[in-house]
């Protein structure tokens, strides 16, 4: 592994560096109240092996190592970390996208969802990032650029170093929840447009467009719910017992953030269902109006149909057959019967 990792390289969407060494994207040493310090690859390896010289650094210093485990070398390095349990190492190097959160003693590890781009469209794919955290060490891995991790890294560079690495996990989940809320806001705007069209319902209303807007919102909100609900269940699990040092950051605050995003999403889905019901009601009303018009026209034409059928009989002594104005007179009879039918419908309050 090379001796240095260039912190000045151009970062990708998640803050990763262009020339990462063997999949090690960044390595920083963090002391609460101070700016983080970039570590060389050799120093990062020493931290993993627990070879840091005791007393050489201030108390409370912890290390954050971030790996791109697409690299074979980085997977091998992660799987060889002696300070982690076998299960934690398997989680860091794994490919499963399912959400999980486990704790063993002071160690907390798991896999959590993230979006693999900047949420610029509705086709954003959901990936996963993995972590293992001890009081003095945070290891994160991913296979695709994760903007939430990059945002947490930039936050760490701008502000004072947090007390524990658990706050980085919390910050990443906060960025993920904010991304969900931004997506919800976009979907909510689409529902506003659909609602405006429904409120101005007339014979020229484009029901197909309204249905497309609502369907798009319901489809995307369902996808988001499938991502957030498992995470919310994990944090509410009674079997999850986190160490005291990580309880406040990883469970309490993160749980509130994810649950709030889920509440917003459920409210959006309820609104979409309400608009879908209103749309169905509007479509049924429009269908009934058209059927009513057809029924009235058909009813008014029934007498005329009877008269034309009667005069069309090929029999002797046909009424009005000998006069020069027979056709006009027959037309007048048809019109008279239509007027009589219309009056009867009005009298019966059917019109």
Q: Are residues 213 and 257 in the same domain?
A: yes
In sequence order, which residues have a C-beta less than 8 Å from that of residue 225 and are 6 or more positions away? Answer: 262, 265, 266, 269
Of 130, 161, 192, the domain-final residue: 161
**Quick check: is 228 in a domain?**
yes
**Domain of residue 186, residue span:** 177-286
Looking at residue 257, its pLDDT comes to 85
Instruction: Say how far apart CA 166 and CA 251 lie, in whole Å.
Output: 10
Looking at residue 139, its pLDDT comes to 93
Looking at residue 207, its pLDDT comes to 79
Looking at residue 114, its pLDDT comes to 86
Q: Are residues 31 and 152 in the same domain?
A: yes
Instruction: Say how far apart CA 235 and CA 237 lie, in whole Å.
Output: 6
| Total number of domains constituting the chain | 2
Placement of tokens 């994160």 in the chain:
140
Looking at residue 17, its pLDDT comes to 45
Nearest to 83 by CA among 102, 100, 104: 104
99-117: per-residue pLDDT in tens?
888 899 889 999 998 887 6
Looking at residue 7, its pLDDT comes to 38
Q: Are residues 157 and 57 in the same domain?
A: yes
153-204: per-residue pLDDT in tens?
988 888 777 888 988 998 898 888 888 888 899 999 999 988 888 887 666 6
Pair 5, 40: CB distance under 8 Å: yes
Q: Which residues of the chain have pLDDT under 50?
A: 1-19, 53-55, 118-121
Q: Are residues 185 and 157 in the same domain?
A: no
Instruction: Say how far apart CA 239 and CA 251 lie, in whole Å.
Output: 13
Looking at residue 37, its pLDDT comes to 87
Looking at residue 286, its pLDDT comes to 78
Looking at residue 111, its pLDDT comes to 92
**Quick check: is 338 in a domain?**
no
Neighbour tally for 269: CB within 10 Å: 18
């Amino acid at each position: 592994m090379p001796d240095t990792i260039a912190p000045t390289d151009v970062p990708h969407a998640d803050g990763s560096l262009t020339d990462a060494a063997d999949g090690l994207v960044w390595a920083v040493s963090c002391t609460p109240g101070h700016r983080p310090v970039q570590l060389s690859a050799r120093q990062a390896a020493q931290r993993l092996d627990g070879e840091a010289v005791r007393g050489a650094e201030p108390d409370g210093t912890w290390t954050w190592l971030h790996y791109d485990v697409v690299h074979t070398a980085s997977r091998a390095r992660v799987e060889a970390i002696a300070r982690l349990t076998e299960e934690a190492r398997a989680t860091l190097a794994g490919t499963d996208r399912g959400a999980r959160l486990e704790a063993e003693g002071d160690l907390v590890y798991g896999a959590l969802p993230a979006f693999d781009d900047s949420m610029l469209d509705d086709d954003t794919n959901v990936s996963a990032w993995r972590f293992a955290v001890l009081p003095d060490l945070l290891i994160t891995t991913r296979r695709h650029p994760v903007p939430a991790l990059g945002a947490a890294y930039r936050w760490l560079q701008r502000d004072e170093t947090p007390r524990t690495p658990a706050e980085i996990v919390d910050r990443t989940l906060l960025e993920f929840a904010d991304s969900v809320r931004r997506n919800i806001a976009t979907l909510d705007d689409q529902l506003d447009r659909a609602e405006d069209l429904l409120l101005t319902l007339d014979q020229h209303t484009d029901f197909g467009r309204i249905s497309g807007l609502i369907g798009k919102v319901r489809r995307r909100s369902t996808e988001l719910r499938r991502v957030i609900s498992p995470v919310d269940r994990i944090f509410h699990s009674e079997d999850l017992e986190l160490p005291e040092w990580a309880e406040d950051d990883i469970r309490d605050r993160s749980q509130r953030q994810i649950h709030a995003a889920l509440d917003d999403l459920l409210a959006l889905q309820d609104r979409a269902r309400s608009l879908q019901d209103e749309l169905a009601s509007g479509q049924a009303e429009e269908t009934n109006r058209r059927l009513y018009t057809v029924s009235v026209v058909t009813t008014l034409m029934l007498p005329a149909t009877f008269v034309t059928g009667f005069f069309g009989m090929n029999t002797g002594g046909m009424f009005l057959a000998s006069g020069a104005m027979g056709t006009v007179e027959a037309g007048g009879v048809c019109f008279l019967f239509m007027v009589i039918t219309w009056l009867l419908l009005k009298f019966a309050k059917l019109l």
